[in-house]
Structure 1
């Protein structure tokens, strides 16, 4: 399975999962996702009006909003970080505009084990809208790190899906080994 087929197959599996995932499952995925290689899925989630607003706020902080707050313009952002910067700006704009749904999930960016404003000095966050620093009230408190030792999830995904992704990775690795000049 060449790189293009591998990428397409993994995206299909992940996309199918995220389309049917509950708000709680999406929240868990955002919290536990490997941000370095899940940009496409996170960007897709950011475009969904049925994404819970608490999850959108978590996504905003998790992909580095605090670090990106230092830049006044996109031109000041290093080239390698521009896609993420634009994602953060899109989530912020939509969050402030009320684009995201309210499924009752609670989230406080300043009081959780992931990235948040608590990692930055106040002067670093001066350009941050106050709403992005405030907790989202909700009746459903999800501790995304409760599952850290669970056998049911890995990287925020159900193990059945993870197994399918591993199978695709194995097929891709086998193809590369059999076709060294094409890899």
Structure 2
């Protein structure tokens, strides 16, 4: 990467960080649900490390990071990026169960989401147990529209336009 590319990348992450720090719980939920998980460790980590993150969003992250896929493999069977994702899954689980995330206003049901607990059932049995609480819906009353056309890759369009302007 050239120095100019490094500068632009840093500016993009500054915009994303600024947005995530001031975003509403509902907007963070949209980001968690619709951002690209393949190359977004920084953004996801900002969510995971935020004690104000809603429990519904934390649970969504747990399943969207691939908890079912990872539970059907031993750590030794994981490779490369899978290991990093597994670390994030374990961190979210520990924090969820340990009370790090205390707000619970957003409803999320693992069994009725885009990535469900049984999505990788054909890969074989569970090798690493997932605690029962991680399968339960959260008790939040707010349903967040995850298909809001004012967002792209989990970011509101004004932020996306600022990012595109940096890339021009």
1:72 paired residue number: 74
Specify the alignment match of 1:174 in structure 2: none
Match of 1:153 among 146, 151, 154: 151
> Does structure 1 residue 12 correspond to structure 2 residue 14?
yes
Cα RMSD (Å): 1.7
Q: Does 1:86 align with 2:84?
A: no
Partner of 1:2: 4
How big is each residue's C-alpha offset from its partner over 1:156-181, in whole Å with a ceiling of 9 and x where there is no partner?
111100001111122xxxxxxxxxxx
Deviation at 1:125, TM superposition (A): 6.9
Distance 2:69 2:32 in 1: 18
In the TM superposition, 1:102-181 aligns within 5 A as 102-112=103-113, 114-121=114-121, 123-124=125-126, 127-145=129-147, 147=148, 150=149, 152-170=150-168
Aligned to 2:44: 42
* Structure index of larger Rg: 1
- Does the CA-based 8 Å contact 2:105-2:140 persist in structure 1? yes
User: How many aligned positions are there?
Assistant: 164
Normalising by structure 2, we get a TM-score of 0.90
Structure 1 residue 68: Cα displacement = 1.0
Q: Which runs of 5+ in 2 are unaligned?
A: none
Distance 1:36 1:72 in 2: 21
> Runs of 5+ in structure 1 lacking a partner?
171-183
Deviation at 1:87, TM superposition (A): 0.7
What are the superposed Cα offsets for residues 120-162 of structure 1, whole Å, 9 maximum, x if unpaired? 32833761111111110111111313x1xx2x21111111000
Residue 21 (structure 1) shift: 0.3
